[in-house]
């Protein structure tokens, strides 16, 4: 049996969360009452967000009726923990808290486990108050489900609600991640209902919650070996097969991620 590996090293999972980003100027899509509001937003709000919105620390895009076309749905809102109230507006600790909190709530919201959530084309973005509202004492966070990921040029519209969207087993292919290209990093992710050459088939665990970061090389080797075995099993151990893997670095590890994604070369 020969297995051919194609690797993809990525920092995409939480890089945007940990960057120090500053707010930009006004947008005609903004709701003036939300721009510098100290009041927290509401769970269940829907918006038409664009990829450029998810890169910003705050968002005041007008809400829309969820029965109308939208690309984002707020699934979690809350107060930042007391120990973060004196943190700087762009502190990395805020991103780490958001990763842990939004990730856990995202799984509950979609009705899926961690492995499934890491293989969907849907992702999440988090927002804090504007800098002006922060200076006035606002300390809330908002987690939005969005119809795409970091590499998306445009977001896919979501259903009236994305709650429970991945609870069906197996999850609907229209929301699961595939790639149509020579390798797993040769093209953006597409829904598995579209023509594809690679499918994300599992997200394997490469460490325990309290483990220190073992280093890039060890994470990659462990990912490669686990994915080779797992994909071979998933494909029924053919004489030859191709597999790929996405592994993550120290920034994602420190934020809480302990998984790598395994890809099978398949059109099914």
**What pLDDT digit, counting tens, does each position of 51-78 carry?**
999 999 999 999 999 999 999 999 999 9
Closest CA to 214 of 263, 181, 247, 187: 247
Q: What is the four-CA torsion angle of 246, 97, 125, 150, rounded to 10 degrees?
A: -30
The pLDDT tens digits for 148-157 are 988 889 999 9
CA distance 242 to 235: 10
Q: Please, which residues have CB within 8 angstroms of residue 221's CB and are 6 or more apart in sequence? A: none
174 with 191: CB under 8 angstroms? yes
3 with 112: CB under 8 angstroms? no
The three-state (H, E, C) secondary structure of the chain, written as one string:
CEEEEEEEEECCCCHHHHCCCCCCCCCCCECHHHHCCCCCCCCCCEECCCHHHHCCCCCCECEECCCCCCCEEEEEEEECCHHHCCCCCCCHHHHHHHHHHHHHHHHHHHCCCHHHHCCECCEEEEECCCHHHHHCCCCEEEEEEECCCCCCCCCCCCCCCCCCCCCCCCCCHHHEEEECCCCCCCCCEEECCCCCCEEEEEEEECCCCCCCCCCHHHHHHHHHHHHHHHHHHHCCCCCEEEEEEEEECHHHHHHCCCEEEEEEECCC
In this prediction, residues 198-223 reach a mean pLDDT of: 96
Q: Name the token pair of 236.
A: 């029924």
The pLDDT tens digits for 94-130 are 998 999 999 999 999 999 999 999 999 999 999 999 9
Angle at alpha carbon of residue 29, lines to 23 and 35, rounded to 5°: 45
Give the pLDDT band (50/70/90) at residue 13: very low
Would the pLDDT of 19 be above 60?
A: no
Return the bridge partners of 126, or none: 143
* pTM, rounded to two decimals: 0.86
- Range scoring the smallest mean pLDDT among 10-24, 28-42, 109-123, 234-248: 10-24
Angle at alpha carbon of residue 15, lines to 55 and 194, rounded to 5°: 75
């Amino acid at each position: 049996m020969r297995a051919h590996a194609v690797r993809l090293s990525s920092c995409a999972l939480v890089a945007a969360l940990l960057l120090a980003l500053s707010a930009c100027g006004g947008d005609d899509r903004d709701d003036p009452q939300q721009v510098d509001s100290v009041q927290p937003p509401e769970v269940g709000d829907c918006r038409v967000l664009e990829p450029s919105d998810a890169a910003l620390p705050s968002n005041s895009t007008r809400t829309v009726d969820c029965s109308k076309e939208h690309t984002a749905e707020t699934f979690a809102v809350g107060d930042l923990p007391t120990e973060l109230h004196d943190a700087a507006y762009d502190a990395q600790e805020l991103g780490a808290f958001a990763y842990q909190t939004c990730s856990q709530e995202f799984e509950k919201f979609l009705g899926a486990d961690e492995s499934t959530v890491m293989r969907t084309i849907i992702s999440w973005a988090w927002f804090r108050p504007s800098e002006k509202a922060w200076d006035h004492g606002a300390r809330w966070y908002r987690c939005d489900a969005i119809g795409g990921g970091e590499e998306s040029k445009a977001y896919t519209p979501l259903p009236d609600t994305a709650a429970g969207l991945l609870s069906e087993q197996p999850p609907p292919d229209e929301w699961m991640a595939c790639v149509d290209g020579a390798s797993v990093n040769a093209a953006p992710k597409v829904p598995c209902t579209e023509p594809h050459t690679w499918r994300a088939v599992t997200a394997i665990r490469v460490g325990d919650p309290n483990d220190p970061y073992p280093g890039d090389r060890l994470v990659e080797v462990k990912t490669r070996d686990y994915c080779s075995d797992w994909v071979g099993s998933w494909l029924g151990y053919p004489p030859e097969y191709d597999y790929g893997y996405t592994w993550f670095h120290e920034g994602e590890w420190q934020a809480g991620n302990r998984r790598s994604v395994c890809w099978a070369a398949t059109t099914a």
